[in-house]
Amino acid sequence: MDLHDAVLDWYDANARDLPWRSTSATPWSVMVSEFMLQQTPVSRVLPVHEAWLDRWPTPADLAAEPTGESVRAWGRLGYPRRALRLHAAATAILERHAGEVPAAYDDLIALPGVGDYTAAAIATFAYGRRHVVLDTNVRRVLARTLSGVEFPAQSVNKAERELAASVLPDDEPTAATWSVAVMELGALVCTASNPACGRCPVADLCAWRTAGHPAYDGPPRKVQTWAGTDRQCRGRLMAVLRDADSPVHRSRLDTVWSDNTQRERALNGLLKDNLATEVEPDFFALP
């Protein structure tokens, strides 16, 4: 298929040198990267991924630590519940799979914090298995090249999955490379805004380009905000707990966010999500 050859040749010449793609990368390295890369750019993940693997080179190493240490090491990547889920997954891997990240999709998706995309991605990128891998970048590339629309539906549907499966190469190793190649194309060329169609290897095969780049006309797309949100408040509180080597009095948390109601709501949310614990009245710490 011309589409396969064009994308695979482009990837061979343009793929970024990322540690979790190295031939020496362990399945655990791939798994850690997949958790960290959710809603977080590669540039922010790289130093944290390296430090994480230096400290915890295997799932067993992480499982041996308190959950709070995973949250502390997560730093400022955001969405710190991912750290708790990764710790829980490491513990399950130790208990169910003798400390080895499983290769089978069914075993992976049974792990805490692992959904369809993450299970397919780990099986594909760590073990070279043949699965449909649909992250945001892949979905956008396939929507444009095959369906002629600027953006895919807000959530994956059966038709989209079947379309992705129809162009997945039959050969298992080639299918695995295809999946990461399409992902890379979406990250570097077929971007959400200002796509570089002039240097796209499949521009001549792209249905969206052929149609004249029609603008997206679906439901309003979600735009993430940050300033003044509960997420920002939670991040400020987490930063205080992360940087402290002993329990923190409530008064220290009061200094980083002035809105009392929002601060209490955020703190209660952290306690409910097990990202913080009240070790004694008005003293808080990581779990």
Could you list the active site residues? 34
Residue 124 Rama label (left phi>0; alpha psi -120 to 50; beta): alpha
Please tell me the distance from the alpha carbon of residue 50 to that of residue 159, in angstroms, as a whole number.
38
Coil, strand or helix at 34: helix
H helix intervals, 22-66:
27-36, 42-55, 59-63
Contact status, residue 31 vs residue 1, Cβ threshold 8 Å: no
Cα separation of 38 and 35, whole Å? 6
Q: Which contacts qualify for 163-169: CB closer than 8 Å, 24 or more apart?
A: 164/132, 164/134, 164/138, 165/132, 167/1, 167/3, 167/4, 167/142, 168/130, 168/132, 169/4, 169/130
**Beta partners for residue 94, in sequence order:** none
What is the distance between the alpha carbons of residues 68 and 53, in angstroms, rounded to a whole number? 17
